[in-house]
A = this chain, B = another copy of it.
């Protein structure tokens, strides 16, 4: 089956890159939110999220940074915390046939919200 012809002919290559990057952003957030994490485990978790999410279709690269200060501040009596949107800074680079979209997720204090947006598009 030619998946692209059958299912994606009504959007442009640029739109396809945006579409696939956005799926991965939403997926990443809702898959990993809640994972136990602390200062010692943070870099392992960052890398593991990267490796898992780079498997998704049309994803060139995923970078995850977990805010170490927030991690330390919010840690419980039991020396870890559940990963939350406030702590994460994510970059996803998606690519469809040479059109690249750079998507970001960052927590915007003023909005009290982990905002996902398209930072750049390269054609």
Contacts and interface: CB of A to CB of B under 8 A. Distances in A.
Interface of A: 1, 3, 7-8, 10-11, 14-15, 18-31, 33-38, 41, 44-45, 47-48, 51-53, 55-57, 74-82, 84-85, 108, 110-113, 115-121
Given A30-B31, A55-B80, 14 more contacts: A3-B111, A15-B15, A26-B27, A27-B29, A36-B56, A41-B51, A45-B52, A74-B112, A76-B112, A77-B110, A77-B111, A78-B111, A78-B113, A82-B85
Contacts of A19: 18-19, 22, 116, 118
Instruction: List the 3 closest A-B pairs by CB distance, nearest first.
Output: A26-B26, A48-B48, A22-B22
A37 B35 CA distance: 17
B31 A35 contact: yes
B36 A117 contact: no
B11 A18 contact: yes
A6 B84 CA distance: 24
Contacts of A53: 36
28 contacts: A1-B111, A7-B115, A7-B117, A8-B117, A10-B120, A10-B121, A11-B118, A14-B15, A15-B15, A19-B19, A23-B116, A29-B30, A31-B35, A35-B52, A37-B52, A41-B55, A44-B48, A44-B51, A45-B48, A45-B51, A48-B48, A55-B78, A56-B78, A76-B111, A77-B111, A77-B112, A78-B113, A82-B85
